[in-house]
Structure 1
């Protein structure tokens, strides 16, 4: 199986290559440091699956996932993140990923997810399966942040880290006005009044 590893940290990419190399030649891998390079390699080569980081710096992993699904609808995609399942797993599955794994997962879990992704199947960790079960509740019972779009969630996360509108705009390659619009939507949808309330909200919900 040929795997494209997409992560903006070289040490992470190399670590994933070493893990895959331990499985007796079952996997071949190539690397990409960002979404642009990833799409270029996918268009030029033939891959069975993509290991895709959620946070890629200039281009969000969910944006890359959208492009992958548009051009390569049958390609397996396993999203990796330092963030727990509670934060992004459901978004990943809903957006078309075959699996969402925390970077603390075992090599065996990683390869199992890859094998299922290559077969066009969905791999759910116990935590993600539990989230999906809870998601069957009535919409009124769900927390407000589940109504945020992927981009609004990105802005929320950066706001909670204390980033300014200018820094958020640079990180997401957006204009300041666009970020301000997303910022206003976040406050409105979460029914929050100020940044202190927002930080407290993210802590309360483990975001």
Structure 2
């Protein structure tokens, strides 16, 4: 059994690898840190499962999932991310992703998801994912304006919602303050808000998880 872990955090890759090898002793776990590396390795190797983070440093994780499913329709994918499921679950379900685990999930849930997908070959529908099956393939996407944001814009939005200044956000993301201002303007434009008050109102209305 071959499994590919796509995540830019070494601790996550190592932890998932240990959990997988405890549950599936003969599994061969490979890992990459970027979306581009994921697509490259899939050109030369086959995997029983791809475990995919959505917050990758180069390419939007949802886009990566779509590219994988379009190119390799039989490839099973499990998303493992800190992003709130309400933003992306419906779209990922539509793409055929087998499950959506939050990184705060305990080990027993991770094991359950792995067994459901790898042994039973069926989607793992926990509380983060099962509503996607009942709400229609695109309804949540159009209803929640935060789905319009790119991964970087979403990061900026979360930090804004936590009350961080432009300089603090720039320092946290290692990006120039002027670039952060550009991202803020894009966020406000996509959310159709004109002030910080309106922005925070939408954050509360759509229950954006800010960490």
TM range, normalised to the smaller chain?
0.7 to 0.9
1:187 corresponds to which of 187, 191, 194: 191
Deviation at 1:26, TM superposition (A): 4.3
- 8 Å Cα contact 2:4-2:30 kept in structure 1: yes
1:159 corresponds to which of 152, 157, 160: 157
1:122 maps to what in 2? 123
Deviation at 1:76, TM superposition (A): 0.3
Seen in structure 2, the aligned counterparts of structure 1 residues 113 and 130 have a Cα distance that, compared at 3 Å, is same
Deviation at 1:116, TM superposition (A): 4.2
- 8 Å Cα contact 2:79-2:100 kept in structure 1: yes
Seen in structure 2, the aligned counterparts of structure 1 residues 152 and 82 have a Cα distance that, compared at 3 Å, is closer
1:200 maps to what in 2? 201
Query: Is 1:18 matched with 2:18?
Result: yes
**For residues 105 and 70 of structure 1, what CA distance do their matches in structure 2 show?**
28
2:66 maps to what in 1? 66
**For residues 159 and 196 of structure 1, what CA distance do their matches in structure 2 show?**
13
Segments of 5+ residues of structure 1 without an aligned counterpart are: none
Seen in structure 2, the aligned counterparts of structure 1 residues 123 and 154 have a Cα distance that, compared at 3 Å, is farther
Deviation at 1:113, TM superposition (A): 2.7
Deviation at 1:182, TM superposition (A): 4.9
Give the CA RMSD over aligned residues: 3.4
Deviates more, 1:80-89 or 1:17-26: 80-89
Deviation at 1:197, TM superposition (A): 1.7
Segments of 5+ residues of structure 2 without an aligned counterpart are: none
- 8 Å Cα contact 2:60-2:151 kept in structure 1: no
Q: TM-score, normalised by structure 1?
A: 0.74
Seen in structure 2, the aligned counterparts of structure 1 residues 131 and 42 have a Cα distance that, compared at 3 Å, is closer
Seen in structure 2, the aligned counterparts of structure 1 residues 203 and 2 have a Cα distance that, compared at 3 Å, is same
Deviation at 1:183, TM superposition (A): 3.5
